[in-house]
Amino acid sequence: MSRRIAWSERAVPGRPALDTALSRAFLDLVAEGTAPETFRLYRPDDVLAFSSLDAVRPGFREAAAIARDRGFAPMLRLAGGRAAVFLRESLAFAWSVPVAEPRNGVRERFRALAEIVEAALRGLGVDARVGEVPGAYCPGEWSVNARGVRKLMGVGQRIVRGAAHVGGVIVVGASARAREVLTPVYDALGYELDPDAIGAVEEEISGLTPERVARAVRAELVRRFELVPADEAVTDHALARAAAGEARHEVGPAAPSACGAGQ
């Protein structure tokens, strides 16, 4: 029997903290068994997504202010790692997977997502490869890059009792804007960064848009799974729950002393 996954493109334009909280709400509902496995692919706002590790760095308050001054909402995301950028010209994904023992299979879930994105981009003509790029932001072995030199996709994972969240971003365009905000943010946080390692899909193949990349990702999912539309009642329930937790993902002008959540 084919593995069935609910497909959602629901986004919350203009409320990036609620968008992040929605990913957490889906994760919790899947863990509780009140929502099926769900894959959400959507267009985000301009966001600088910080992790709990970033939030305890001495330069976090300055980094958040830099992001805000450049028009990027600073947010606390679900997954770990280092600060990542979400742009209007990118695609965000959030895959909530029911797992009895979520600490098992972490690498397998990373591999599955990375291979889906790699195959989707290769199908569009991009020389996409799975692997870490030296000097990249939020480095990780399950990133997807172009030609081994520029990062295109970053992914992180969060586990709770009963489920796992695999989430991240595919940068389709506007890599110059990504460099302009990430370079000073990483400097404030005390992280090394090679701006030339920041790439975008449209730089590899001219004319590719977020819509075309989204269709390619969906097609790869269809090759592997049975996709069904997400139930609107379940999504509305997730949104209601997300609204209650929206503030936990916001970064105000004064940084919190501790952070336990994030995208």
In this predicted model, what pLDDT tens digit does every residue of 75-117 receive, in sequence order? 999 988 999 999 999 999 999 999 999 999 999 999 999 999 9
Tokens standing for residue 70: 């450049």
- Domain map (residue ranges) of the chain: 4-249
Assigned CATH topology for domain 4-249: BirA Bifunctional Protein; domain 2 (3.30.930)
In this predicted model, what pLDDT tens digit does every residue of 118-140 receive, in sequence order? 999 999 999 999 999 999 999 99
In this predicted model, what pLDDT tens digit does every residue of 57-75 receive, in sequence order? 999 999 999 999 999 999 9
In the chain, where does DSSP find H-type helix?
A: 16-32, 60-69, 106-123, 175-189, 201-204, 210-224, 232-245
In this predicted model, what pLDDT tens digit does every residue of 22-71 receive, in sequence order? 999 999 999 999 999 999 999 999 999 999 999 999 999 999 999 999 99
